[in-house]
Amino acid sequence: MLILVVGPSGAGKDTLMEAAKLALADDPRFRFARRVITRPAAAGGEAHEAVTEAEFVTRDFALQWQSHGLRYGIPADAIAGGGPVVVANVSRTVISEAARRFAVRVIEVTAPPAVLAERLAARGRETAADVAARLARDVSVPGDVAVERVMNDATLEQGITRFVAALSRAASDVP
């Protein structure tokens, strides 16, 4: 099974996924996929595999997409060689494709617009115009795929608790 973690920039997906990875380290059902991104590792954010455009096009990806001037991919071997449940942070634009190819569950992490704006500004990675563009981006989740929403608008501990609970529910039918 593939659990797709989606949501707007600034919702806290990477933070919650890192915390969940630690919290679920002893649960053999879960494996967390590491994204490949055409963004330098020093740019901050999630612990990803940084590659050049030239390197990206030579890779074998289960899912890939472009967003905000970057290319993102989930390596094919992360899904094929993963555990019973692979958790991956993806764009909402690839949900339909993933659902056609894999058994998927979707968890959408979100927060109110003011919280998203504050978090994006605090990252310091983008200009004010880039932050505005991220906030204006509206990508809906396909209506034919069940989605569990996790509101990440409180303390970090509450967000982690909500997210780990959602992951456990999504994987409840996996031995």
pLDDT at 175: 61
**Share of the chain residues as helix, strand and coil, in percent rounded to the nearest 5:** 40, 25, 35
User: CA–CA separation, 87 vs 30, rounded Å?
Assistant: 7
Task: Report the pLDDT averaged over residues 4-22.
Answer: 92
Q: Among the CATH numbers 3.40.50.360, 3.30.70.980, 3.40.50.300, 3.40.50.460, which is that of 2-170?
A: 3.40.50.300
Residue positions counted in the chain: 175
Model pLDDT for residues 108-121, shown as the tens digit of each residue? 999 988 888 888 87
Please report, as a single letter, which amino acid is at residue 173: D
> pTM (2 decimals)?
0.87
At 151 the pLDDT is 96
